[in-house]
């Protein structure tokens, strides 16, 4: 039996923190579907196509990692359609925890058979968030310790005068 997890998020852009969760998640699950949310409300820096291209560059050679997009649908319905047993999330801070716990209870109410599995961020990535990276890159700061080189290049190009 193949155990599938959905790893949903904005991935705007993908960071070493996301990659860490995916690599560790592959120990627990046979397949991870990275589900990139369209997220028009968050006004993403990168288009859906760009966010997917970044993930493809990073994970394209791993056949147990699948890329997909979702919008205008409940995450638990999407997860069930994909035959997933779990939603995978990363936890960095107490505020992550408060938000995720509420979401998890709601998702469990909607779909009791879809579990949410949390992985605590690794000590070396716990300070990394896509939004912080964008702030640093916007003002020319060095983000090379937080994102792969190809992402750092895209950020520099996006913010070049
Ligand atoms: P969302 O808009 O759903 O928060 P993100 O792309 O910001 O999407 O994050 C997707 C998932 O990855 C979330 O569970 C988030 O907590 C987790 N995550 C983001 N950055 C890190 C990190 N540095 N370490 C561990 N987990 C992370």
Query: Is the model's pLDDT at 137 over the cut of 80?
Result: yes
The pTM is what?
A: 0.96
Give the model's pLDDT for residue 72.
85
Q: Is 115 helix (H, G, I), strand (E, B) or coil?
A: strand
Going from the Cα of 54 to the center of ligand 1, the distance in angstroms, rounded, reads 16
For residues 34 and 26, is the Cβ–Cβ distance under 8 A? no
**Candidates 42, 105, 127, 153; catalytic one:** 42
List all residues whose CB is within 6 A of at least one atom of ligand 1. 9-11, 15, 17-18, 20-21, 89-90, 92, 96, 121, 125, 128-130
For 151, the token pair is 């992402």
Q: Over the chain, what is the mean pLDDT?
A: 96
Q: Which helix (H) or strand (E) holds 54?
A: helix 48-59
């Amino acid at each position: 039996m193949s155990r599938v997890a959905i790893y949903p998020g904005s991935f705007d852009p993908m960071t070493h923190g996301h990659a860490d969760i995916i690599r560790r998640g592959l120990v627990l699950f046979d397949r991870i579907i990275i589900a990139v949310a369209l997220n028009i409300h968050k006004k993403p820096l990168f288009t859906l196509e760009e966010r997917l291209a970044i993930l493809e560059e990073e994970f394209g050679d791993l056949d147990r990692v699948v890329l997909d997009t979702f919008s205008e649908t409940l995450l638990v319905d999407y997860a069930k359609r994909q035959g997933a047993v779990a939603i995978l999330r990363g936890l960095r801070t107490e505020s992550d925890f408060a938000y995720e716990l509420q979401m998890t209870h709601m998702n469990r109410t909607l779909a009791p058979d879809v579990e949410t599995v949390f992985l605590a961020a690794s000590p070396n990535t716990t300070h990394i968030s896509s939004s912080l990276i964008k702030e640093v890159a916007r003002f020319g700061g060095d983000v090379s310790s937080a994102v792969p080189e190809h992402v750092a290049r895209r950020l520099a190009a996006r913010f070049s005068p």
